[in-house]
Amino acid sequence: MRSLLAAALLTLTTSLFGATTANAGGFGIITNGGIHTDRVYYYADDLQYLNRQNNLNMGAGIELILGDRDDKVQGFVRGYYIQDAPQVAPASADAIDATYSIRDEVREIGMATTGVQWTVFGDPMGFSMYLTSVMGTGIATADTLEFMLLEGGVGGSYHLDKKFVLFAEVAAGTRFRKVFYQNHNAYAGIRYLFD
């Protein structure tokens, strides 16, 4: 309801006071892969044990770019799909004949993130290096285990011409759901800028 009210207010303000056409921005296709920490709990002799596992994740999606192509600071919004690898049974749990429950299938997650990139070296219209900060959420999960994502990283981009840009980033951060889980990702893709 609030978003509908905000959209109506924006439309009314634009029609009353006029607005200039915004031509800055673009869109892109991204791929990602990484590693994250999972927790598996198991039980034996009325005691609880914890097994921390590093599991792979990978995915792909789209992004919207906010800002002029020659700006040193640009924003982006990403929507993408990732798959977390299955968990594995803890060897120590089998050794003590413990009971446990693991996720033995791929976990599918719909991600929504927003972020900012700051160019720190090079030419935004040629080759450049930048810093990124990202905040978002694993918003659509089949097992209703949504989480918050916070990341920071470094990246590089190269303009093939005025419109097309190749980019790659590496980032480290955390997934948060009741506790913090380590998260490391790499992103790569191509952007089309229309400003």
Is 17 contained in some domain? Answer: no
Confidence check: pLDDT of 29 > 90: yes
Of 166 and 4, which is predicted with more confidence? 166
Confidence check: pLDDT of 22 > 60: no
Q: What is the mean pLDDT of the chain?
A: 87
Averaging pLDDT over each range in 38-42, 113-117, 160-164, which range is the top one?
A: 113-117
CATH (domain of 162): 2.40.160.20
Confidence check: pLDDT of 16 > 70: no
Confidence check: pLDDT of 175 > 80: yes
Confidence check: pLDDT of 52 > 50: yes
Is 168 contained in some domain? Answer: yes
DSSP state of 12: H
Q: Provide the pLDDT for residue 21.
A: 52
Is 96 contained in some domain? Answer: no
DSSP state of 86: P
Is 46 contained in some domain? Answer: no
Is 28 contained in some domain? Answer: yes
Confidence check: pLDDT of 10 > 60: no
Q: Which domain holds residue 73?
A: 23-39+54-90+104-193
Is 188 contained in some domain? Answer: yes
pTM score:
0.82
Q: How far is CA 88 from the centre of its chain?
A: 24
Q: Provide the pLDDT for residue 69.
A: 81
Tokens encoding 96: 């003590």
- What is the share, in percent, of the chain residues with pLDDT greater than 70? 88
How big is the CA angle at 157 (ends 152 and 161), to the nearest 5 degrees? 155
Which residues, in sequence order, are CB contacts of 70 under 8 Å at separation 6+? 124, 125
C-alpha torsion 122→194→139→155, nearest 10: -10
How big is the CA angle at 51 (ends 47 and 54), to the nearest 5 degrees? 170
Q: Provide the pLDDT for residue 194.
A: 86
pLDDT in tens, 83-110: 999 999 888 887 888 888 889 899 999 9
Q: Check if the beta carbon of residue 187 is closer than 8 Å to that of residue 171.
A: yes
**Through-space distance between the first and last CA atoms of the chain, rounded to whole angstroms:** 33
Is 132 contained in some domain? Answer: yes
Q: Provide the pLDDT for residue 23.
A: 63
Q: How far is CA 6 from the centre of its chain?
A: 26
Mean pLDDT of 44-49: 90
Q: Provide the pLDDT for residue 5.
A: 45
Is 18 contained in some domain? Answer: no
- Residue 180 phi/psi, 5-degree rounding, is -90, 135
Number of domains in the chain: 1
